[in-house]
Chains A and B, each alone.
Chain A
Amino acid sequence: MPIVYATGASHAPGITAWTQAAPVEQKDKLYAAFEQMRQSFAAAKPDVVLALTSEHWINFFLDHVGAFCIGRADFYDGPVEPWLRVDRTRIPGEPQLASELLAHCYENGFELNYSHEMELDHGTIVPLHFLMPDMNIPMVPIMFNTLAEPRPTPRRCVELGKVLRPVLENSGKRIAIVATGGLSHDPGEAGHGIIDQEFDAAFIDRMRRGDLAALSSYSDAEMLAAGAGTMELLAWLCMAGIMGERGADLIAYEAVKPWATGVGIMSYPLAA
């Protein structure tokens, strides 16, 4: 069974929590893009969502830091933030596929952490609730450590995607991939509000061309220079690794000052 859907989308909490703070043209463009993504997601009829995502000191802290953590839980609750203006809900898990992915990763050079209990914050919930408003399709999350140094390198994230791909393609299930986060932003830090549009344009260009060599060549410092939140794009790099040399279409990009984020949505053209 092929991968039937693959989209990367920003998860800035302002998208849902401070929607009206954004200039109306920007907000309308992005909401139209999310609606387009919802329709294509539904048309793809996925059985499972692989969420390549990150979190913000909710499940993980400096008492135990891993590079990647795959969820083997029966369900995931979220969002944890009562102010996000998204109803708290329970999304079913898909522990069997998670375990297959985990075993395959161990055999192929990636000893992922795993967890039987993870809560979801805006990092996962914001894009997901647009794509599947009913929050009813089973998911497997892989959390990327984007916060604490050292982080996994862009090269390794692309490599991880390449390792995941055959299990997804041979799973017998219709797989949707959703990568969350980015683009440039520096949330809560001194550079909060700065959006590096030049970085974002170059990143989008590499994704469009499916240029895995260029995507792999990013350094941690180079991405960090565009803001700490830019590291969330590690999840997108993993998606690019799964999708191989295919290019992703740009659905929308807006540098939204009140949301303090370069908000981007890209999607791979796939036969449903």
Chain B
Amino acid sequence: MSTYALNKLLREVNRNPQTRERFFADREAVASEFELTGEEREAVIANDVAKLYKLGAHGLILRPFTLIQQMPEPDYLAAIRSN
């Protein structure tokens, strides 16, 4: 897993209720607080699950991240397998 900052952001959203609330209110603001690459930043803001997985988001961080957004399992699996 090379994408340290990306996983850090996603895990913060999963684990920290305050970050989570701020993130879903303003994704761009929270994304700007992490040292993301341009590609990572775009995927985070667009909530592009396929791209996030391709860029190196860990399954056990990305799946909880999508679960808190009520993403059904078949949709999640279709997204990460579409790469």
Please list the residues of chain A having a beta carbon within 8 angstroms of any beta carbon in chain B.
Answer: 56-58, 61-63, 147-149, 186-190, 192-193, 228
11 contacts between A and B (CB under 8 A): A61-B7, A61-B11, A62-B7, A63-B8, A147-B58, A149-B1, A186-B59, A189-B80, A190-B53, A190-B59, A193-B77
A189-B59 in contact (CB<8A):
yes
Q: Which A residue's beta carbon lies closest to that of B65?
A: A188
Q: Which B residue's beta carbon lies closest to that of A149?
A: B1
Interface contacts beyond A147-B60, A190-B59: sample of 12 additional A-B pairs, CB < 8 Å, sorted by A: A57-B58, A57-B61, A61-B8, A61-B11, A62-B1, A63-B8, A147-B58, A148-B1, A188-B58, A188-B63, A188-B64, A192-B59
Shortest Cβ distance from residue A189 to the other chain B in the assembled complex, whole angstroms: 4
B8-A188 in contact (CB<8A):
no
Q: Which B residue's beta carbon lies closest to that of A192?
A: B77
A62-B60 in contact (CB<8A):
no
Interface size on B, residues (CB 8 A): 19
Contacts of B53 in A (CB 8 A): 190
- B62 close to A (CB within 8 Å): yes
- Interface residues of A: mostly helix, strand, loop or mixed? loop
- B34 close to A (CB within 8 Å): no
Would you list which residues of chain B between 42 and 58 have a CB under 8 Å from chain A? 53, 58
B8-A187 in contact (CB<8A):
no
Q: With A and B bound together, what is the CA distance between A149 and B56 in angstroms?
A: 13
Please list the residues of chain B having a beta carbon within 8 angstroms of any beta carbon in chain A.
Answer: 1, 4, 7-8, 11, 14-15, 53, 58-64, 73, 77, 80-81
B63-A58 in contact (CB<8A):
no
Contacts of B63 in A (CB 8 A): 187-188
A62 touches which of B8, B73, B80 (Cβ 8 Å): B8
Contacts of A56 in B (CB 8 A): 60
Shortest Cβ distance from residue B82 to the other chain A in the assembled complex, whole angstroms: 10
Q: With A and B bound together, what is the CA distance between A16 and B43 in angstroms?
A: 33
Q: With A and B bound together, what is the CA distance between A189 and B77 in angstroms?
A: 8
Contacts of A188 in B (CB 8 A): 58-64
Contacts of A63 in B (CB 8 A): 8
Contacts of B81 in A (CB 8 A): 190
Contacts of B11 in A (CB 8 A): 57, 61
Q: Which of B8, B53, B77, B81 neighbours the largest number of chain A CB atoms within 10 Å of its CB?
A: B77
Q: With A and B bound together, what is the CA distance between A63 and B4 in angstroms?
A: 9
B4-A57 in contact (CB<8A):
no
B77-A187 in contact (CB<8A):
no
Q: With A and B bound together, what is the CA distance between A58 and B58 in angstroms?
A: 13
Contacts of A228 in B (CB 8 A): 59-60
Shortest Cβ distance from residue B78 to the other chain A in the assembled complex, whole angstroms: 11
Shortest Cβ distance from residue B75 to the other chain A in the assembled complex, whole angstroms: 12
Contacts of B62 in A (CB 8 A): 188
